[in-house]
Amino acid sequence: MITIRDLSKRYDDNTVLNGINLDVPTHTVTAIIGPSGSGKTTLLRLIDLLEGPTSGEISFDGVGALTSEDARLEMRRRMVIVFQKPVVFSGSVYDNVSYGLKIRGQGRRDMREKVLHALETVDLSGYENRRARTLSWGEAQRVALARAMVIEPELLLLDEPTANLDPVSTARVEQLIARVIGELHTTVIMATHDMAQGQRLADQIAVLIGGEMLQVGNPGEIFNLPNSMQVAHFVGVENVLEGVIASKEQGLVNVSIGSHVIEGISDLEPGAEVSACIRPEEVILSLTQAPTSAGNTFYGTITSMVSTGPLVRVVIDCGFPLVALITTRSAQELELKRETRVCASFKATGVHIVKG
């Protein structure tokens, strides 16, 4: 278990990380997600003990890593970091992958077996004699992954492992990462700006925005119950409507959004300034009337329709813009197009209300 308490990092006047708290249980995958410049790489470098924090603590299994140089070096031996830009040395792929074993004094025969197995795991069997510098970016990334896994680290740190790859290579590298994680039974902390990647690979997601850890939870919680407007925007909730709670009855609140009222579920009290978050897939469109179970019904005109494969993203002007995501098939059945007048509805339980 890795415990991070009140960790801050300042460069001159620039506070890059501010009061970070994070618990990473053993044998789990944590994704640190956040936009570019939010401090993800800096946090990984601090966890890797490459760099010291301005203040705060990091401990591994209850032992403070920053208490002495011996403790720091001991912890560093147990982990490995794979940087965003894959680093390969001159020499062969074999030399690259065996590097960590060599400096750890591994015997030759075991070493060959481990290296070949690692190459097989990252789908690079037969590449051992290739010059590492002649590899493509994606292949180099996989060599870096193999080099990290051969030493069987207790903690594997990955910085944006697919940041510069095309979608096909991204899917492949993600698969390989999942395979490496499964084989090593190791603890992983990875940084990514890709929410969907976090959801695919991680048990726990930590949302880092502007150097602050805004929310830590499982992917479902982060995706469906963002705790702030910033997190909601980052995880792709497209309908974030600002308003004030006008009334409350048995957990059901009415939120005034301009001259409109949206019904939702919240513990907050009347008068509270809130944002009502509605996932576009929660919005149902019809030509006449809404299903009676939907608490919220608005009439409006379609202002835009963008097709993304099997789904269509429809924007409706209901006096406020509302985005709906519906299947291409139902868009065709309803004969929807720009200027069509529709009825948009969503249940009160589909409205997630956050403060501010």
| Interacting residue ranges for ligand ADP, rule: CB under 6 A | 11, 14, 16, 34, 36-42
Select the binding partner of residue 292 from ligand ADP, Mg ion, none (C-beta < 5 to 8 A, by kind).
Answer: none
Minimum CB distance to Mg ion, residue 204 (Å): 19
Residue 117 to residues 77, 110, 114, Cα–Cα distance (Å): 21, 11, 5
Decide if 261 contacts 295 (C-beta within 8 A): no
Minimum CB distance to ligand ADP, residue 212 (Å): 12
Minimum CB distance to ligand ADP, residue 204 (Å): 18
Decide if 254 contacts 246 (C-beta within 8 A): yes
Minimum CB distance to ligand ADP, residue 234 (Å): 12
For 252-291, b/e burial (b = at least 16 CB within 10 A) is ebbbebeeeebbbbbebeeebebbbbbbbebbbbeeeebe
Select the binding partner of residue 319 from ligand ADP, Mg ion, none (C-beta < 5 to 8 A, by kind).
Answer: none
Q: Smaller CB distance to ligand ADP: residue 37 or 236? A: 37
Q: Smaller CB distance to ligand ADP: residue 34 or 295? A: 34
Q: How many angstroms separate the CA atoms of 193 and 84, rounded?
A: 12
Q: How many angstroms separate the CA atoms of 237 and 216, rounded?
A: 17
Minimum CB distance to ligand ADP, residue 211 (Å): 7
Select the binding partner of residue 350 from ligand ADP, Mg ion, none (C-beta < 5 to 8 A, by kind).
Answer: none
Sign of the C-alpha dihedral computed for residues 290, 237, 216 and 204 taken in this order = positive
* DSSP sequence for 44-93: HHHHTTSS--SEEEEEETTEETTS-HHHHHHHHHTEEEE-SS----SSBH
Q: Smaller CB distance to Mg ion: residue 164 or 199? A: 164
Select the binding partner of residue 186 from ligand ADP, Mg ion, none (C-beta < 5 to 8 A, by kind).
Answer: none
Select the binding partner of residue 153 from Mg ion, ligand ADP, none (C-beta < 5 to 8 A, by kind).
Answer: none
Select the binding partner of residue 14 from ligand ADP, Mg ion, none (C-beta < 5 to 8 A, by kind).
Answer: ligand ADP
Q: Binding segment for Mg ion among 33-41, 63-71, 247-255, 298-306 (CB under 5 A)?
A: 33-41
User: Is 41 one of the binding residues for Mg ion (CB under 5 A)?
Assistant: yes
Minimum CB distance to Mg ion, residue 36 (Å): 7
Q: Smaller CB distance to Mg ion: residue 192 or 345? A: 192
Name the residue among 52, 55, 59, 62 with its Cα closest to residue 6: 55
Minimum CB distance to Mg ion, residue 159 (Å): 6
Q: How many angstroms separate the CA atoms of 20 and 210, rounded?
A: 11
Helix (H, G, I), strand (E, B) or coil at 220: helix
Q: Smaller CB distance to ligand ADP: residue 159 or 282? A: 159
Which residues are near Mg ion by CB under 5 A?
40-41
